[in-house]
């Protein structure tokens, strides 16, 4: 992905760190879709879109009174943090204090960046798995660190031995994501136990992005590395209300970690954003109250979406699509098509009116795949996948 400003433009007074920052490879597809639709072109957007079903609460609960129109707690509202602590204990067996072991963030993206900023010195290494969410490497770079990608195994297993080999004296942390975007893997106890053992042995930090913790299928249960007491003081957990509660417009997430780390991040919050907007926190708190009914409904709904898409994709044997264990993504292998992921994505958009995300934006190991986002209504997904299959080059 190219940087926003080319090297031959006059940029002498601008930050080299920001000049090197690429635009988001996933959001770029959405921008293209909006531009095409504005010109009247019909597009099946299998790269993203508004969540369906929508959130379990109405937006009227975001109303604030004149007395509440003030700067809030940089840690976030205590009621929200306390409710989230109860959620972690009940759903994931993760015991953390809502008082000083949590910070409310502007989505999971701020949580990723602030955690890396708090843990990294200039020139440090952060191990990330490959493929991975497009925000990880740029966030590490903004924090002055370097992302070191380690591929998953061929069957998308977490390769702890390969991670161990990639460690250097400059490695500060390992950043993972489970359920995993973009492959849909849900890492199991054996994988995470081995990783926790490595983190303890090498005296590292483990950052685990659990944005899709509610999206687990076929009777699975999400497992958080927050259960391992041996690395309790070296584990940071990140959550997203955008994903779990269909609230992307609210821009709200949660960072969970040891008290000293959270104190640093709350101080950083004070200086950079003061506090997360109270209306967003009210939406998040109201959503948490509905989780008992919402979570099983969400899993059932998205498992049905997954099965609809898998059935449609099976119509062309050149696509090899692993059954997603979690998230709302599918990551078909397209190598038999004979095109790069970017070439195929452009072909599908131009020739079939179908938007997908090229796998290459998720890292070197993502090449040879496209990512399909399953947030739309079932009928729309079915029609979009049908158009995709019909639009594949012959």
pLDDT confidence band for 12 (50 / 70 / 90): low
Q: Check whether the bond before 53 is cis (ω within 30° of 0).
A: yes
The dihedral over CA atoms of 178, 357, 243, 60, expressed in degrees to the nearest 10, equals: 170
Answer yes or no: do 216 and 125 share one domain.
yes
Answer yes or no: do 365 and 275 share one domain.
no
- Residues 342-359 as b or e (16 or more Cβ within 10 Å = b): bebbebbbeebbbbbbbb
- In this prediction, residue 36 carries a pLDDT of 86
Reference 51, options 240, 254, 321; nearest CA is 240
Answer yes or no: do 175 and 114 share one domain.
yes
Answer yes or no: do 219 and 286 share one domain.
yes
Each residue's pLDDT tens digit, 181-229: 999 999 999 999 999 999 999 999 999 999 999 999 999 999 999 999 9
Answer yes or no: do 249 and 137 share one domain.
yes
CATH of residue 256: 3.40.640.10
Asked which of 292, 318, 341 is the last residue of a domain, the reply is: 292
Are residues 287 and 240 in contact, defined by beta-carbon separation less than 8 angstroms? no
Number of domains the chain contains: 2
Q: How buried is 167 (Cβ within 10 angstroms: 0-12 exposed, 13-18 middle, 19+ buried)?
A: middle
- In this prediction, residue 37 carries a pLDDT of 86
CATH of residue 322: 3.90.1150.10
Residue at 326 is within a domain: yes
Each residue's pLDDT tens digit, 15-26: 888 888 888 888
Residue 106 C-alpha from the chain's centroid: 14
Q: What is the distance between the alpha carbons of residues 225 and 222, in angstroms, rounded to a whole number? A: 10
Does position 6 have pLDDT exceeding 70, yes or no? no
Asked which of 259, 292, 325 is the last residue of a domain, the reply is: 292
Reference 109, options 17, 179, 13, 209; nearest CA is 209
Where would I find the beta strands (DSSP E) of 106-251?
125-130, 146-151, 171-177, 205-209, 235-240
Whole domain around residue 80: which residue ranges? 64-292
Q: What are phi and psi of 134, to 5 degrees?
A: -65, -15
Residue at 5 is within a domain: no
- In this prediction, residue 332 carries a pLDDT of 98
Each residue's pLDDT tens digit, 35-71: 888 898 889 999 998 899 999 999 999 999 999 999 9
Each residue's pLDDT tens digit, 136-170: 999 999 999 999 999 999 899 999 999 999 999 99
pLDDT confidence band for 13 (50 / 70 / 90): confident
Q: What is the pTM of this model?
A: 0.94
Answer yes or no: do 382 and 285 share one domain.
no
pLDDT confidence band for 29 (50 / 70 / 90): confident
Answer yes or no: do 147 and 286 share one domain.
yes
Q: Which conformational region is residue 277 in: left (phi greater than 0), alpha (psi within -120 to 50 degrees), or beta?
A: beta
Asked which of 257, 292, 327 is the last residue of a domain, the reply is: 292
Answer yes or no: do 297 and 286 share one domain.
no
- In this prediction, residue 27 carries a pLDDT of 83
Answer yes or no: do 185 and 151 share one domain.
yes
The three-state DSSP-derived secondary structure of 9-47 is CCCCCCCHHHHCCCCCHHHHHHHHHHHHHHCCCCCEECC
Question: What is the bridge-based pairing of β-strands 171-177 and 125-130?
Answer: parallel
Q: What is the distance between the alpha carbons of residues 115 and 78, in angstroms, rounded to a whole number? A: 20
Are residues 238 and 207 in contact, defined by beta-carbon separation less than 8 angstroms? yes
Share of the chain above pLDDT 70, in %: 97
DSSP β-bridge partners for residue 128? 149, 175
Residue at 2 is within a domain: no
Answer yes or no: do 173 and 258 share one domain.
yes
Residue at 1 is within a domain: no
Each residue's pLDDT tens digit, 284-338: 999 999 999 999 999 999 999 999 999 999 999 999 999 999 999 999 999 999 9
Here the tokens at position 77 are: 């509202």
Answer yes or no: do 148 and 213 share one domain.
yes
Whose tokens are 């080999």? That residue is 165
Whose tokens are 């004070």? That residue is 270
Answer yes or no: do 192 and 48 share one domain.
no
């Amino acid at each position: 992905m190219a940087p926003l400003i080319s090297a031959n433009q006059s940029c002498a007074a601008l930050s080299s760190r920001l000049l090197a920052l690429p635009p988001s490879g996933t959001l770029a597809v959405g921008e293209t879709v909006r531009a095409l639709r504005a010109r009247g072109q019909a597009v099946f957007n299998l790269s993203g879109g508004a969540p369906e079903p929508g959130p379990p609460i109405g937006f009227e609960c975001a109303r604030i009174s004149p007395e509440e129109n003030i700067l809030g707690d940089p840690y976030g509202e205590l009621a929200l943090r306390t409710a989230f602590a109860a959620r972690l204990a009940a759903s994931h067996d993760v015991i953390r204090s809502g008082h000083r072991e949590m910070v409310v963030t502007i989505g999971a993206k701020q949580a990723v960046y602030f955690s890396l900023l708090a843990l990294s010195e200039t020139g440090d290494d952060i191990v990330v798995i490959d493929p991975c969410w497009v925000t990880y490497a740029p966030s590490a770079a903004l924090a002055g660190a370097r992302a070191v990608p380690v591929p998953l195994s061929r069957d998308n297993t977490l390769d702890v031995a390969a991670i161990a080999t990639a460690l250097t004296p400059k490695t500060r942390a390992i950043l993972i994501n489970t359920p995993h975007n973009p492959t849909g893997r849900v890492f199991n106890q054996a994988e995470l136990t081995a990783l926790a053992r490595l983190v303890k042995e090498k005296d590292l930090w483990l950052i685990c992005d659990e944005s899709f913790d509610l999206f687990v299928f076929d009777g699975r249960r999400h497992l958080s590395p927050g259960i391992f007491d041996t690395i309790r003081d070296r584990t940071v957990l990140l959550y997203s209300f955008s994903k779990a509660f269909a609230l992307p417009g609210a821009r709200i997430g949660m960072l969970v970690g040891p008290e000293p780390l959270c104190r640093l991040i709350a101080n950083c919050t004070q200086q950079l954003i003061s506090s997360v907007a109270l209306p967003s926190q009210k939406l998040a708190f109201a959503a948490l109250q509905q989780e008992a009914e919402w979570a099983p409904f969400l899993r059932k709904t998205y498992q049905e979406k997954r099965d609809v898409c898998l059935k449609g994709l099976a119509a062309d044997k050149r696509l090899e699509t692993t059954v997603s264990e979690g998230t709302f993504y599918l990551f078909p292998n397209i190598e038999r098509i004979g095109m790069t992921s970017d070439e195929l994505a452009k072909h599908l958009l131009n020739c079939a009116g179908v938007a997908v995300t090229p796998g290459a934006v998720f890292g070197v190991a993502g090449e040879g795949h496209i990512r399909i986002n399953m947030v739309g209504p079932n009928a729309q997904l079915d029609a979009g996948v049908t158009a995709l299959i019909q639009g594949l080059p012959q």
